[in-house]
Structure 1
Amino acid sequence: MRRILLLIVLSLVFACSSKKETLINYTNSQIEYSGRIDSSKTKAAELYWSGTSIKFNFEGESISALLKNEKGDNYYNIIIDNDSLFILRPDTIKRYYKLASKLPKGKHTLEIFKRTEWNRGKTSFYGFKLEGNSKVLKKPISKKRKIEFYGNSITAGYAVEDLSGKDSPDSTYTNNYLSYAAITARHFDAKYQCICKSGIGITVSWFPLIMPEMYDRLIPKDPNSKWNFSLYTPDVVVINLLQNDSWLVNMPENDEFKARFGTKPPNEKYIINAYQQFVSKIRKHYPRANIICTLGSMDASKKGSKWIKYIRKAVDHLNDTAIYTHVMPYKKSVGHPSIEEQELMAKSLINFIKENIDW
């Protein structure tokens, strides 16, 4: 009987030891972060912006991430070995989420990619847990190219997965990974940073914040939280704005119109100057970057649009040979760009970069 009990105890000990756990703190130098991530005030990496990502190389049978979401309304693409993908929605309780299990022996890659926008609340990432015979591998080789985008809902990938075409506000359907911006970055194997918000404009937005007020923030909602531009120096900057301005400047009864303009809509000179000033701010932060001022693919970009002319005039005034204008194909369908339309935009932008920029 004692012998049987001893065998049982030994088998339990062996079973426990076979499930060895390795904890990796969010500060581990082999974790690669992309995007504007805050880790200065809390014991976690805090994710806000669309397209923010976490990449990690490892050996192990399974991997989990310790996460907590502010509102429980954010979605992430979990990509294992650059192949399998599933969607994770962290809740408001700090806990481990199993990202992969029963993995074969050998090297594995993990990417956590933020699909949703910052108004859905921040996500706190505390670290990973590996199980089995595990090993932390060197982080991915740093990409040679860097690209940065400033945009609105089109760049965010708003409602891109709403196949009904009804532009559902449910964050389930927003996916920055399928936006023209992220597709372009992946095509060039470039590190990616995206500063965007649905409804935002240069002169007026659908809410009390415009891009010239938001573009330099680390924490989107905090005007006192400033991003350190020296931490990320892009080779190419793409600005895709004015779509929301094109609607709102014609809505004198709108509260944001009244707050920005009073009773009279802005004239051509005002709009061109505002756009020019914003591009100048970007240029001051990135003296050597190639800047592409683009528009598309909704109605502000259709043939004959005065908004295209505004952008071209602003760029002409800047007299900078490294600042370009490019209009993406106008989509004739209603609503925000679909997956296919985002792909067409990406193709247009990719071709433009190939033809004009040596990076």
Structure 2
Amino acid sequence: MKHLSTLALAGVLLCGLGAEAISQTQQAPMAPPTPSAEATLLPVAVSPSDPHIRYIGRFDTSDAAGPRCAWTASSVELRVQGSALNVRLADGSSNRYEVFVDGRPASVLATQTGTHLYRVFQAPQSGRHTLTLVKRTEAFFGTTQFQVFQLPQGGKLLALPPRPPRRIEVIGDSISCGYGNEAKNQYEHFSADTENGAMSYGAVAARDLDAEYVCIAWSGRKMWPNNTMPEIYDRTLPLDPKSRWDFSRWTPQAVVINLSTNDFNGGAPDRQGWTAAYEAFLTRVRSHYPKAILYCATSPMMGGKSYDIAKDYLTQIVQDKNTAGDKNVRLLVFETQDAKNGFGADWHPSLKTDAVMADKMATTLGHDLGWKIARQEQVP
């Protein structure tokens, strides 16, 4: 499989009204977001709780004003009859959303701090379209609340097709977030503009397998002993220590854990301490997903001796779990990233490396779960 580059959507217009500011929906490659001074309100308001709207990922619904999300690749999907779509968002920072139109990446929405109205789709004439907004940026950029959707006169939401039965969760760090994967090279430092969680290896593999995708990842996080992913894994909103996710709401058949890069940065951690912490986390994940295959992944950002040591640790963990009776814990080997595929910001995986990883992940999960590849994308 090869993977598809982002396509620009011509003619994306920006509208809003009155005191509500509207921010620019930008086409890749992106420039710094520029708010628009005026905007046009669309007359048909749709509540964010409308049953025709599908939320994929961890969304907090405790606030009557609208669902809130923060994790990478959190998605909103809806099918419209109309020529345009507005959305009012309340954002704690400046996030980025990939806008997919009929399954193709079409434009990038750059949010602004505060509450604003955005035009996310514009067509020359009314028609039926499936629109998906996927959060490109990771949780530390803040939480987004979806407050209202708007359509032109005569516009309406249509029923979406049934949810796909396949579901994949990835738990990880910056690699899984798509940190800097759109940067020109390794010398370009990280920014919101170059992080694309919608094109990370997990997201691409999930689309190739026609699976719903949830990503629980945060740059810099470790498995053990500090600044760990297990500390925040149970949260619906990672920035809110009081929020707790209800795991019965969504159950994957496969979970990929890609946590080792930061643990081995500067030397190998204590073997007994690290493997014990990893195995305890696997036990915890297993308690939520009794039937899922759990994959322990190697890191493509490591090479040489550190890669070999980390792989050895992970191999031991898998063997320990298998010996204890859990045969559905397996090793997923991502090779060290190849320089010929270029690098993202700060030596992170590029889009091409993400595509290589996606191929490996989709092929492995497809084989183990009996899933046929449903789609093939291409990247440059």
Shorter-chain TM-score above 0.5: yes
Whether the aligned pair in 2 keeps the contact of 1:300 and 1:308 (CA below 8 Å) is: no
The separation in 2 between residues aligned to 1:302 and 1:51, in whole angstroms, is 33
Q: Which residue of 2 aligns with 1:327?
A: 333
Greater relative contact order (Cα < 8 A, sep 6+): 2
Alignment CA distance shift 1:354-1:301 (3 Å): farther
The Cα of 1:220 is off from its aligned counterpart by 0.5
1:48 is aligned to 2:55: no
Q: Bigger CA drift: 152-161 or 314-323? A: 314-323
The separation in 2 between residues aligned to 1:93 and 1:267, in whole angstroms, is 44
Could you tell me which of 221, 237, 244 is aligned with 1:219?
A: 237
The Cα of 1:81 is off from its aligned counterpart by 2.3
The Cα of 1:249 is off from its aligned counterpart by 5.1
1:35 is aligned to 2:57: yes
Matching of residues 194-343 of structure 1 within 5 Å = 194-204=215-225, 209-248=227-266, 266-299=269-302, 305-319=308-322, 320-333=326-339, 335-343=347-355
TM-score by length of 2: 0.80
**Structure 1: any 5+ residue segments left out of the alignment?**
1-18, 251-265
Alignment CA distance shift 1:140-1:117 (3 Å): same
Q: Which residue of 1 aligns with 2:149?
A: 128
User: How many residues get paired?
Assistant: 322
Alignment CA distance shift 1:332-1:105 (3 Å): closer
Matching of residues 26-175 of structure 1 within 5 Å = 26-71=48-93, 73-83=94-104, 85-175=106-196
The separation in 2 between residues aligned to 1:20 and 1:147, in whole angstroms, is 36
Point out 4+ residue stretches in structure 1 off by more than 4 angstroms. Answer: 300-304
Whether the aligned pair in 2 keeps the contact of 1:56 and 1:139 (CA below 8 Å) is: yes
Question: Identity of aligned pairs, percent?
Answer: 31
Whether the aligned pair in 1 keeps the contact of 2:42 and 2:150 (CA below 8 Å) is: no
SS at match of 1:225: coil
The Cα of 1:84 is off from its aligned counterpart by 5.6
The separation in 1 between residues aligned to 2:101 and 2:370, in whole angstroms, is 32
Q: Which residue of 2 aligns with 1:23?
A: 45
Deviations 1:215-268 (Å, cap 9, x if unpaired)?
A: 111110222211110011001111111110001556xxxxxxxxxxxxxxx521
Q: Tell me the amino acid that sits aligned with residue 149 of structure 2.
A: F
The separation in 2 between residues aligned to 1:247 and 1:304, in whole angstroms, is 11
Q: Which residue of 2 aligns with 1:346?
A: 358
The Cα of 1:270 is off from its aligned counterpart by 1.1
Deviations 1:304-335 (Å, cap 9, x if unpaired)?
A: 61111111111111121111112112114460
TM-score by length of 1: 0.85
The separation in 2 between residues aligned to 1:202 and 1:156, in whole angstroms, is 16
The Cα of 1:358 is off from its aligned counterpart by 2.7
SS at match of 1:244: coil
Q: Tell me the amino acid that sits aligned with residue 86 of structure 1.
A: S
Deviations 1:12-46 (Å, cap 9, x if unpaired)?
A: xxxxxxx9721101110110001101121351111
Q: Bigger CA drift: 75-84 or 275-284? A: 75-84
The Cα of 1:167 is off from its aligned counterpart by 4.7
The separation in 1 between residues aligned to 2:303 and 2:217, in whole angstroms, is 18
Larger helix percent = 1
- Flag the structure with larger Rg: 1
The separation in 2 between residues aligned to 1:164 and 1:238, in whole angstroms, is 27
Alignment CA distance shift 1:304-1:329 (3 Å): closer
The separation in 1 between residues aligned to 2:258 and 2:252, in whole angstroms, is 16
The separation in 2 between residues aligned to 1:234 and 1:204, in whole angstroms, is 27
